[in-house]
Amino acid sequence: MNGNNSGKPREDSAVGEPESPIQKALDEFVIEIDGLAATFPATMIVTESMRKTAHETACAFVDKFGSVSGEAENGEGSVSFSVADASSFLPQLKQLEKVESASRIIPQTFVIAMVCQYDAFLSRLLKAFFIERPELVSSSEKKLTFREICEFESIENARDHILEKEVESIIRESNEKRFSRMMEVFSIKLREDLPVWPYFIELSERRNLFVHTGGAVSSQYLQVCDANGVDFSADVLGGRPDLGQTLTASKSYFRHSYRVLFEIAVKLTHVLWRKQFPGDREKADTSLTDIGYQALVFGDYPLACTIHDFAVRMLKKESLEGTRLRIMLNRAQAYKWRGDLETMNKILSDVDTTAAADVYKMVVAVLKDDFEKACKYMKRIGANGDVKKSEYRDWPVYKEFRESKEFLECYKEVFDEEFSKLVVPIKVDNIGKRQLIVDSVKLSRSDD
C-alpha cells in the first residue's frame, strides 16, 4: 500500500510542511544509489557485448589465419601468424585486452561510486543535525583565532565554518571510527541489533582496495574484517581470500553492496532523527513508510523485508493507526513476494482490521489469495471510494489479484468498463518507423 495513501484521508500533520533537511539528505542518497543500481545492468550489458564481440573477432581471425599448437595436450597452447597477419591481429588483441580490463574495472567503479555517495550523504546528514542542534558540537575542540574570526562576515558564518570542520573531522575517519564518534556525539548506541554491520565494514575495506591496490587483498583488509566479525563463508563473499588475491565486484556483489548501503543509511537516519527530534515522529513514520513502499514497487523484496522489519521496531504506541496498518501490510506482502508465506501469515495474524477501512480488509484478503472476499470489499469501496482505478493498476499488492478472473469481472462491475493496463500512444512517421508519444502517456480512459 502506498505510503502516501492510507485508503482514507491523511491523519498526520506533516502534510504541507517543508521537507526536513534530515529527510532530504536521505531522499537524495536513495535517488543517487537507485540511479547507479538502475544504470549498472545496462552498462554491463554494453560492456559484455563489446567483450563478446572482441573475443569472437579475435577467435575468428585465429581460426582463419593462425597456426595453433599444443592445445590438444593440456588445453593450453599457442598460436603463430605470418608477419603480415600478425600486424592485423595485434590491434584486435589490444582491443580484447581493453574490454577485458573494462569488464573488471567498471563494476569496481560502480561500487566505489556508491560508497562515495554514501560519504556525501553522511556529510549532509551530520550537517543537518548540527545546524538544527548546534549544542551537539558545543564540546568541540575546534578553536578560531581573533584574526580568523575577523575574516568572517558574521557570527553565523563562523558557526557554519566550525560545524563544517566538525563534519569533516568525522568524515575523514574510517567507517568504524565514524560510528564511534557519532555514538559519542549523539549519546546513542548505533551498532546494536545491526547484523549488516560486518558486511558494511567489508564493503568499506573492499572499496579501499579497489581505489588503492586495484583489488589486491592487503593484511589490513583481512585484519579489519576479522575484527568486525566478517563471515567470508557467505555466498556473496565467496570464501576467505588469500593475501594478495585480487577481489572483483560481481553483479551479485554490486546488488549486495547496494542493499548494505541502503540499509545502513535508512537505519542511521531514522535512529538519529527519532532520538534528536521526537516531535518529528509522524513525519519520520511517513518517510519510512514511503521508503519501504518504493522497495516493493522496484521488486527488491529482500530489501523491502529488511526495511519493514526495521519500520515495525520504530513504531511507537503513539504512531497513527493508518501508518501502523500500512507498514504491517506492506511487510506482509514483502515476505509474500519473497516466497516466505509462513512469515506472511504470522504477520497477518497480528493485524487487526476489525475497525479499519475496507481497503485494509481487502488487502488482507488479497494477500491470503481470497479473491472472492477481496471482490466483496472492492464492491463496497465502489468507483468513488478510497481506491482509485490507477491504484488497482499500480499498487504491487494487487499484482496477482488484477490478473485473476474475479478481479476482471469485479472491476467491470464497479467501474462499468474493462480493466486496462497503461496505454502509451504511438504514431508512425513517413518512413514507417513507430514513435512513442511520451508526453501523452495516459490510460485508455481518464482516471478518477
403: in domain: no
91: in domain: yes
Q: What is the per-residue pLDDT for 388?
A: 93
Give me the residue label for grid cell 565554518. 161
238: in domain: yes
Give the C-alpha separation, 34 to 78, whole Å: 45
* C-alpha cell, 368: 491470503
Q: What is the per-residue pLDDT for 77?
A: 79
29: in domain: yes
Q: What is the per-residue pLDDT for 94?
A: 93
Give the C-alpha separation, 321 to 328, whole Å: 10
- Name the domain count of the chain: 1
Structural domain of 97: 22-70+79-132+173-258
Q: What is the per-residue pLDDT for 9?
A: 32
Q: What is the per-residue pLDDT for 336?
A: 98
pTM equals 0.85
Give the C-alpha separation, 300 to 316, whole Å: 26
Give the C-alpha separation, 331 to 358, whole Å: 19
439: in domain: no
Q: What is the per-residue pLDDT for 69?
A: 80
> Strand ranges (DSSP E) for 60-101?
67-69, 78-80
156: in domain: no
Identify the CA nearest to 54 among candidates 106, 91, 104. 91
Give the C-alpha separation, 413 to 404, whole Å: 14
381: in domain: no
421: in domain: no
pLDDT by residue, tens only, the chain of 448 residues: 775 544 333 334 444 567 789 999 999 999 999 999 999 999 999 999 999 999 999 999 988 888 888 765 566 778 888 888 888 989 999 999 999 999 999 999 999 999 999 999 999 999 999 988 888 876 555 565 556 666 666 656 666 667 788 899 999 999 999 999 999 999 999 998 899 999 999 999 999 999 999 999 999 999 999 999 999 999 999 999 999 999 999 999 999 999 999 999 999 999 999 999 999 999 999 999 999 999 999 999 999 999 999 999 998 877 888 999 999 999 999 999 999 999 999 999 999 999 999 999 999 999 999 999 999 999 999 999 999 999 999 999 999 999 999 999 999 999 999 998 665 666 766 666 666 555 544 333 334 4
